[in-house]
Amino acid sequence: MAKLALINREAKRAAVVAKYAAKREKLLVIINDQNASEEEQFQARLKLQQLPRNSSPVRLHNRCKLTGRSRGVYRKFGLGRSKLRDLAFKGEIPGLVKASW
| CATH 4.10.830.10 domain residues, the chain | 62-100
Percent of the chain with pLDDT over 90: 83
CATH class for domain 62-100? few secondary structures
Per-residue model confidence as pLDDT tens digits over 56-87? 999 999 999 999 999 999 999 999 999 999 99
Q: Taking 90 as the threshold, does the pLDDT of residue 18 lie above it?
A: yes
| CATH 1.10.287.1480 domain residues, the chain | 1-61
Which one, of 34, 29, 65, 64, lies nearest residue 48 by Cα? 29
pLDDT at 50: 95
Half-sphere exposure of 14 (CA within 13 A, CB side): 9
Euclidean distance between CA atoms 43 and 28, whole angstroms: 11
pLDDT at 2: 75
Topology (CATH level 3) of domain 1-61: Helix Hairpins (1.10.287)
